[in-house]
């Protein structure tokens, strides 16, 4: 168990104009399950690999359990890693694969065998110990990779997109398994993924990255409910948040979209400020001053996702599974003020409307 501290950690590859990881600072408590989420190429894997010691850190400092690890060999950092494509040793049996870290560490044969058996037991691999990786299914290989990471009882678990090679059913299963393992082992886990469902379900702490920088850090729920930047708002959520450009109008009390009636804000913003208005599909209300035309309906079974065009702007909303909803149908929609997110158009940062003075609030209400 160990806390991980990253202090302005950067990685610039030789000859690259821009750093791949650009001054990332994170303070991750001991025993947390941290998920780093971001689109491909955002530097999340590089960050993980720097922590593991597979890439050199070109700027800043990484500390594990209070110790600077920049210069340490991977084996001295107390991390174990699970790779995306499992990276199992093809010429070794499952037992040899799992036992390899112990063999390298010079653990006596008898103890090694016992520990391998225990790990295999907990991962339901006992029957496959004599097989080669090539004779296993994807899920089994993944479990072997996890077993190999577990067997050394590391302080830190690093997962590099561990579930992305599995099929959908298996992924859900392994996700639960990972979470269960994390609770059982109590080590600090750091998982990198581009799958937001994985991120939302696994994380204690969610780190959203883009273009080498950390966009937001927080509990998944908090990040979802209150995205700090337009990028996070548009990245997290499926389907993603509706984002509509506009300008603050009506003395700062509302946002004028390109067309249609102005959208009242829950507070006040400077008049004329160019903003991007965000609202999640599940918060778009049926019935309201806005008119929209249905363009496409996706039936998910439990509900429907409706793609509509609201005064020329594309809008996605959730609709119940029952009732009439078809292409070309006209809708009336409302954008409840309490559910709105406002981002500055220029910087992309969240802008919280200033609360109205009590009297005005009473009048407005």
Partner 1 sequence: MSNTRRALFRSTWLPWALVLPQLLIIFVFFYWPTGEALYWAFTLEQPWGGGNAWVGWQNFVSVFSSAGYWHSVRISILYAVATTVLAIGVALLLALFVDREVKGSRGYRLAAIWPYAIAAPAIGIVFRFVFDPRSGVFAFLNQASPGMWDPTLNGNHAMTMLVLAGAWQLVSYNFVFLLAGLQSVPRALVEASAMDGAGPLRRMWDLQVPLLAPTLFFLAIINMTDSFTHSFALVDVMTSGGPARSTDLMVYKIYSDGFKGLDYSGAAAQSIVLMLLVVGMTFLQFRFVERKLHYK
Nearer to partner 1, 149 or 206 (CB): 149
The minimum distance between CB 73 and partner 1, in angstroms, equals 8
Nearer to partner 1, 36 or 308 (CB): 36
Rounded CA-CA distance 140/293 in Å is 48
The minimum distance between CB 135 and partner 1, in angstroms, equals 11
The minimum distance between CB 280 and partner 1, in angstroms, equals 38
Longest dimension (CA), the chain: 79
Interface positions with partner 1 (CB under 8 A): 52-54, 73-75, 79-81, 83-85, 87-91, 100-101, 104-105, 132, 134, 148, 152
Rounded CA-CA distance 92/98 in Å is 9
User: Partners of 27 in the beta sheet?
Assistant: 5
The minimum distance between CB 68 and partner 1, in angstroms, equals 19
Nearer to partner 1, 92 or 222 (CB): 92
Nearer to partner 1, 42 or 82 (CB): 82
Nearer to partner 1, 107 or 236 (CB): 107
Nearer to partner 1, 83 or 122 (CB): 83
Residue ranges in 123-229 assigned as alpha helix (H): 138-150, 168-185, 196-202, 220-225
The minimum distance between CB 214 and partner 1, in angstroms, equals 24
CA distances to 60, 157, 179, 218 from 37, rounded to whole Å, are 21, 16, 17, 12
Return left, alpha or beta for 288; rule: phi > 0 is left, psi -120 to 50 is alpha, else beta. left
- Neighbouring CB atoms inside 10 A of 46's CB total 22
Nearer to partner 1, 81 or 95 (CB): 81
The minimum distance between CB 194 and partner 1, in angstroms, equals 18
Which residue is it, tokens 């899920």? 139
Nearer to partner 1, 91 or 327 (CB): 91
Rounded CA-CA distance 76/81 in Å is 13
CA distances to 37, 50, 54, 207, 245 from 64, rounded to whole Å, are 21, 12, 15, 18, 43
The minimum distance between CB 26 and partner 1, in angstroms, equals 21
Strands 67-68 and 213-218: unpaired
Are 140 and 172 within 8 A, CB to CB? no
Nearer to partner 1, 12 or 165 (CB): 165
Rounded CA-CA distance 360/182 in Å is 50
Nearer to partner 1, 116 or 308 (CB): 116
CB under 8 Å to 216, separation ≥6 — which residues? 206, 207, 208, 223, 227, 228, 229, 232
The minimum distance between CB 43 and partner 1, in angstroms, equals 18
Which residue is it, tokens 């450009």? 245
User: Partners of 314 in the beta sheet?
Assistant: 309
The minimum distance between CB 98 and partner 1, in angstroms, equals 10
The minimum distance between CB 105 and partner 1, in angstroms, equals 6
For the chain, helix, strand, coil in percent to 5 are: 30, 35, 40
């Amino acid at each position: 168990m160990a806390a991980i501290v990253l202090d302005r950690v950067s990685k610039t590859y030789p000859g690259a104009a821009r750093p791949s990881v650009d001054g990332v600072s994170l303070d991750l408590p001991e025993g947390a399950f941290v998920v780093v989420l971001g689109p491909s190429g955002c530097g999340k894997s590089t960050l993980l690999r720097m922590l593991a010691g597979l890439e050199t850190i070109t700027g800043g400092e990484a500390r594990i359990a209070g110790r600077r690890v920049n210069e340490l060999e991977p084996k001295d950092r107390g991390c174990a890693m699970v790779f995306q494509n499992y990276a199992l040793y093809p010429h070794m049996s499952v037992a040899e694969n799992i036992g390899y870290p112990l063999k390298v560490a010079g653990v006596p044969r008898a103890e090694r065998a016992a520990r391998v058996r225990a790990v295999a037991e907990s991962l339901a691999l006992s029957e496959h110990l004599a097989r080669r990786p090539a004779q296993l299914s994807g899920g089994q290989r993944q479990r072997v990779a996890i077993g190999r990471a577990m067997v050394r009882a590391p302080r830190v678990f690093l997962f590099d997109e561990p579930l992305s090679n599995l099929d959908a059913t298996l992924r859900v299963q392994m996700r639960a398994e990972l979470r269960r393992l994390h609770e059982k082992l109590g080590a600090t886990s750091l998982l990198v993924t581009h799958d937001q469902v994985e991120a939302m379900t696994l994380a204690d702490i969610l780190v959203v990255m883009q273009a080498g920088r950390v966009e937001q850090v927080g509990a998944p729920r908090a990040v979802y409910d209150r995205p700090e930047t337009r990028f996070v708002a548009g990245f997290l959520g499926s389907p993603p948040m509706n984002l509509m450009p506009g300008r603050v109008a009506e003395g700062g009390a509302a946002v004028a979209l390109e067309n249609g009636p102005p959208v009242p804000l829950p507070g006040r913003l400077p008049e004329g400020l160019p903003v991007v208005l965000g609202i999640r599909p599940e918060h778009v209300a049926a019935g309201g001053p806005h008119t929209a035309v249905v363009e496409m309906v996706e039936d998910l079974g439990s509900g429907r996702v409706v793609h509509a065009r609201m005064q020329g702007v594309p809008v996605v909303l959730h609709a119940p599974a029952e009732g009439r909803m078809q292409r070309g149908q006209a809708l009336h929609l409302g954008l409840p003020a309490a559910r709105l997110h406002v981002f500055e158009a220029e910087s992309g940062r969240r802008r919280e409307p200033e609360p109205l003075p009590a009297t005005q609030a009473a009048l407005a209400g």
